Copies of this chain bind each other. A is one copy, B any other.
Amino acid sequence: MSTPQRSRRAVRPSGDDRQRAIVDVLEELLRSRPLAEISVDEIAGGAEISRSAFYFYFASKQAVLLELLDRMVREVDERLAAVPSRVEQPREWWGACLAVFVDVFGAHRAVTATLAEARATVPELRAEWGRRLAGWVDLTAATIAAEQRRGRAGAVVDARATSVVLNAMNERVIAASLTGEEPSLPPQQLLVVLTDVWCSAIYGTPRP
């Protein structure tokens, strides 16, 4: 809960490896069970250090999670930047962007799932995720607005509000699918359906 200020900058050569090891071990452990069922003991054991040594690197296991989140988000942003900019086929373009989320979240399903669990208890996590999500929401809203100005998307809908809703939908749907919760979609169906809903919401007519 407190501030995790000791590490990061102060860390020297071999310590850097340890820090990385801790983060890796946690992601590995999260593949098998939720954060609440993983003790600091186990993480430290996996990284081959003592429990108290763990606290030299991180203030808590939640702090490690923050690092894990950062890794994943950075990966998304990199791959998002690599999407060929603005093909003249909107559906393909949105699909390509959505594929990035499906792929990266899928590759880090442990982190994705833990996010929902820990968000409630870890303010820093909630804030950090909010910041990153806000970035994508802005991007989406800007693109929608551009499509509206171009006349391809109807001007009826509020670009920003729609963007918020669609991004939130992604998060939940992907997490549910990846963890195999009961009413959820098989991963291969995911991309198609998400693209359908996004395009409908953006280009479709909301008033039948």
Task: Tell me the A residues contacting B by CB distance below 8 Å.
Answer: 34-37, 90-91, 113-114, 116-117, 119-121, 126-127, 130-131, 133-134, 137, 152, 156-158, 161-162, 164-169, 171-173, 176, 181-185, 189, 193-197, 199-201, 203-208
Q: Return chain B residues, CB-CB under 8 Å to A176.
A: 168
From DSSP, what is the main secondary structure of chain A's interface residues? Answer: helix
User: Is the Cβ of B194 less than 8 Å from the Cβ of A200?
Assistant: no
Least CB separation from A173: chain B residue = B168
Pairs A–B under 8 Å by Cβ, sample size 15: A36-B121, A116-B117, A117-B119, A117-B120, A117-B121, A130-B183, A133-B183, A157-B193, A158-B189, A158-B193, A162-B193, A167-B183, A169-B172, A200-B205, A204-B206
Closest 7 CB pairs of A and B: A204-B204, A130-B182, A172-B172, A169-B169, A196-B206, A117-B120, A200-B204
